A and B are shown apart, each in its own frame.
Chain A
Amino acid sequence: MDLALAPETLARWQFGITTVYHFLFVPLTISLAALVAGLETAWVRTGKEKYLKATKFWGKLFLINIAMGVVTGIVQEFQFGMNWSDYSRFVGDVFGAPLAFEALIAFFFESTFIGLWIFGWDKLPKKIHCFCMWMVSIGTILSAYFILAANSWMQHPVGYKYNAATGRAELTDFWKVLTQDTTLVVVFHTLTAAFLTGAAFMVGIAAYHLMRKKHVKVMRTSLRLGLITLVIAGALTALSGDQLGKVMFRQQPMKMAAAEALWDKEAPAPFSVFAYGDVDKGHNKVAIEIPGLLSFLAHDDFSSPVPGINDVNKSEQQKYGPGDYRPNIPVAYWGFRWMIGFGMASFAIGLAGLWLTRKKFWLAPGLRTGDEEPPNLALTKNKVLGVRLSKAYWSLAFVTLGFPLIANSWGWIFTEMGRQPWVVYGVLKTSSAVSPGVSQGEVLTSMTVFTLLYAILAVIEVRLLVKYVKAGPPELTDDDLNPPTRIGGDHTDADRPMAFSY
């Protein structure tokens, strides 16, 4: 059969398309839930209208986003069985448990409390209403934890034994699956990257309005919250990424060698800035490198040896039998760079923004701005950026909202494709994981259907987001400012319209 249309290839494409698409919404959901909950908490505690307006504005964007996250997540739950039935049979004993935990604990949390939050404005006292969003936030984080524990087991299987009689992996230590270093570091990295994503989203949209001097009060607050979150999350993403890199150098040396297009062992090993390789011949044609840095990334010193692709390939052949154990090198190499590049670009823009828009620190009194005007972009104590540069910064801050989305996607493409040819590293090959009973036509059908459907929904979603971003925060009504004091609402008028209805 033509390799390009082999069921394995198609099933991988389908998993890639549906999962990368799903993960556009996931990090935004995780971070915006917490940020909206934080804003609502500020409203509950201070009673300042700008916080309530911000809660409603970001809350609406959050809801448009989570709707897509939820429905595309349903596919994730079932496509293991559909396209990867041999995988499911082999790993279900281990992999199924965290998935079931995720549904039973996290999904119920999210879905139930989001319903209460959407419809509860005129039914719940404000503290309870705010509590509901915190519950949603906890749900999103738990969900991330369980599914990443499952994924980490595929990256680095622990706490199981192979049962020859049943021909499958069986769980022996669930605690190990939940707490192995891969899981913990991946959760740390994914969550910090999620907050980087939501913060950049907030910064971008706030910058859009501030550049036009619209909705200044709400957007100033949002910008500040976004920038602070962006900088903290950006720094932690880098830190956790470094730790994850070290874990991967130990657990999957091939992935990291591929990420560097390091063909042969070097000591000290350089970090590659640019390379163009000849995969068939096993070396690079062009390479720009920083000496010793890769050794540092792998082992915290500048001289230790780092094995190359050819070395690891040989040792894996000895361990697992003849075969090619190299992943797609250009994808791993460039995926790794796009991930870091876009993520850190966003972090840098945030760092610059935090400095430029500072309120008081090292800033001449004449340049300080009030609540009602956009912040000056002050480079030094007495000097603000010119009109052109200011506009350039605001525009840059606006487009940065897309950067983490690109970084996240490449991060996943890198880590999943970098693990190939394994689906469970060292245990099960991807080629042995597909559904034997599912025909090429069936996979092709479902892949086409999902791709088309997702494309249409993407257009609809983005246009809705644009509409609500442009509209800005809503005007508050008396009802908004006087939330119920008891559950069920205070109103005695039985015919009063609902605060929100579908």
Chain B
Amino acid sequence: MELHDIWFILIAVLWTGYFFLEGFDFGIGVLTKLLARDRRERRVLINTIGPVWDGNEVWLLSAGGATFAAFPEWYATLFSGFYLPLLLILVCLIVRGVAFEYRVKRDEERWQRNWEHAIFWCSLLPAFLWGVAFGNIVHGVRIDAHKEYVGSVLDLLNPYALLGGLVTLSLFTFHGAVFASLKTLGDIRERARRTATVLGLITAVLAVGFLGWTQLDKGDTSSLVAMIVAVLALAAALVMNRLGREGWSFAFSGVTVVAAVAMLFLTLFPNVMPSSLNESYNLTVSNASSSAYTLKIMTWCAGIATPVVLLYQGWTYWVFRKRIGTQHIADAH
């Protein structure tokens, strides 16, 4: 295995980490309107991710920065090609981050309501758009001989990619609902479980469709295995949710995310961005990667930093491990 293959795996790991962690963050954001009945319940939900959402989002910055360093051509083609959807994602992430921090800083009704709308929409849109983006990456887009994306933004809105968007949206919302049931107390916890059941079933239908389509279109044996794992994990998460085993349910919804992302990357390899115009224009791990020297340095950095990050991020989750309910939300701030 060459260094650029290892880096393909590491980039996949960073994106997987991002979708696993910010996946339930996005889900919580969507659930503030789907699940919460009043402001106090909305605040319970938001506070389940309060201390951690920022750290979760850094997984995206790491994935972006590592792609830039390890596969500059991939980074350049992807972000200049998917320009407008990425712009929308960035705007959402900006507004959403500010919304979390600023919502409580004033007591006026209108102020708080507006930021709550922002949290909902700016969680929902990226959750959907990341799926659209990855659907397009896997499916292949119009890339010319100069590694430039020559399609239009409408080309990105094809049925396969849109289905991918619906899958990430529903999967992340499901993942978020399971997380909510794990982190809350009282009435909202019960309702989170019921909502999770509905969302899980919707996700199952959509995911089987999308992953099946992917398998028929691009799959091989390894991707088939990943797909089966994803589907079984989703079923297990649903069963555990019904049984009230919230920790297990969350573990399995996490495995679903991991396996689904793994499947996409497995179908992609050894390409990183296939061209739909001509196979010889494909961006691959070898023609899009950095020099061996850069990859070696990056390997040292990631090899040391990532476990340390996991350690102290894990510690944060442990510090804030207690469930919260409406009684824990103070009136004044």
Contacts and interface: CB of A to CB of B under 8 A. Distances in A.
B50 interface: yes
A498 B322 CA distance: 11
B93 interface: yes
Interface string A229-253: 0000000000000000000000000
Contacts of A95: 68
Contacts of A174: 293-294, 297
B68 A80 contact: yes
A162 interface: no
Contacts of B147: 89
B69 A92 contact: yes
The A interface is mostly helix, strand or loop, or mixed, namely helix
A82 B80 contact: yes
Interface in A74-102: 74-75, 77-78, 80-83, 85-86, 88-89, 91-97, 99-102
A118 B329 contact: no
A170 B55 contact: no
A140 interface: no
Nearest to A113: B312
A102 B104 CA distance: 30
B291 A170 contact: yes
Given A74-B61, A502-B103, A116 B51 contact: yes
Contacts of A103: 58, 61-62, 64-66
B145 interface: no
B54 A495 contact: no
Contacts of A111: 54-55, 57-58
Nearest to A500: B333
A75 B150 CA distance: 23
B105 interface: yes
A100 B71 CA distance: 12
B77 interface: yes
A74 B65 contact: no
A85 B102 contact: no
Name the residue among B61, B81, B87 with the largest chain A CB count within 10 angstroms.
Answer: B61
Given A77-B65, A93-B72, A99-B69, A108 B83 contact: no
Contacts of A453: 91, 94-95
A353 interface: no
A104 B302 contact: yes
Interface string A105-121: 10110011111101110
A119 B320 contact: yes
Nearest to A173: B293
B320 A88 contact: no
B154 interface: no
A92 B52 contact: no
Interface string A434-457: 011110001001100100010001
Given A501-B333, A502-B47, A64 B105 contact: yes
Contacts of A449: 87, 91
A112 B80 contact: no
Contact of A67 (B69, B70, B102, B321): B102
B75 A445 contact: no
Given A77-B64, A436-B148, A68 B98 contact: yes
A78 B312 contact: no
B47 A72 contact: no
A115 B71 CA distance: 31
B49 to A, nearest CB: 9
A174 B93 CA distance: 32
B324 interface: yes
A100 B62 contact: yes
Given A112-B55, A116-B51, A497-B328, A170 B293 contact: yes
The B interface is mostly helix, strand or loop, or mixed, namely helix
A112 B312 contact: yes
Contacts of A112: 52, 54-55, 58, 309, 312-313, 316
Contact of A100 (B65, B148, B309): B65
Contacts of B316: 112, 115-116
Nearest to B62: A103
B277 interface: no
A498 B324 contact: yes
A337 interface: no
B294 A438 contact: no
B78 to A, nearest CB: 7
A92 B72 contact: yes
B149 interface: yes
Contacts of A107: 58, 61-62
A377 interface: no
A438 B147 CA distance: 13
A249 to B, nearest CB: 31
Interface string A464-502: 100110000000000000000001100000011110111
Given A92-B72, A438-B80, A75 B94 contact: yes
Nearest to B103: A502
A350 to B, nearest CB: 30
Nearest to B153: A442
Contact of A105 (B76, B81, B146, B305): B305
A124 B51 CA distance: 13
A138 interface: no
Nearest to B87: A446
A71 B87 contact: no
A501 B93 CA distance: 21
B243 interface: no
B1 interface: no
A97 B69 contact: yes
Contacts of B148: 85, 436-437
B301 A100 contact: yes
A502 B149 CA distance: 42
Contact of B50 (A67, A85, A119): A119
A123 B54 contact: no
Nearest to A93: B290
Given A116-B51, A170-B293, A124 B70 contact: no
B75 A96 contact: yes
Nearest to B119: A502
B76 A171 contact: no
B79 A81 contact: yes
Contacts of A105: 301, 305
Contact of A77 (B61, B84, B106): B61
A80 B55 CA distance: 23
A88 B65 contact: no
The 5 closest A-B pairs by CB, nearest first: A92-B72, A81-B79, A96-B69, A85-B80, A96-B68
Given A100-B62, A103-B65, 18 more contacts: A80-B79, A88-B68, A88-B72, A89-B76, A92-B69, A92-B76, A93-B72, A96-B68, A99-B68, A100-B70, A118-B50, A119-B51, A124-B319, A171-B294, A437-B80, A464-B102, A488-B321, A502-B46
29 contacts: A64-B101, A74-B61, A74-B90, A77-B65, A80-B79, A81-B75, A82-B87, A83-B80, A85-B80, A93-B294, A97-B297, A100-B68, A104-B309, A108-B55, A108-B305, A114-B54, A119-B50, A119-B51, A120-B51, A120-B319, A123-B319, A174-B297, A438-B83, A442-B83, A453-B91, A457-B98, A498-B47, A500-B333, A501-B329
Interface of B: 43, 46-47, 50-55, 57-58, 60-62, 64-66, 68-73, 75-81, 83-84, 86-87, 90-91, 93-95, 97-98, 100-106, 146-150, 290-291, 293-294, 297-298, 301-302, 305-306, 309, 312-313, 316, 319-322, 324-325, 327-330, 333
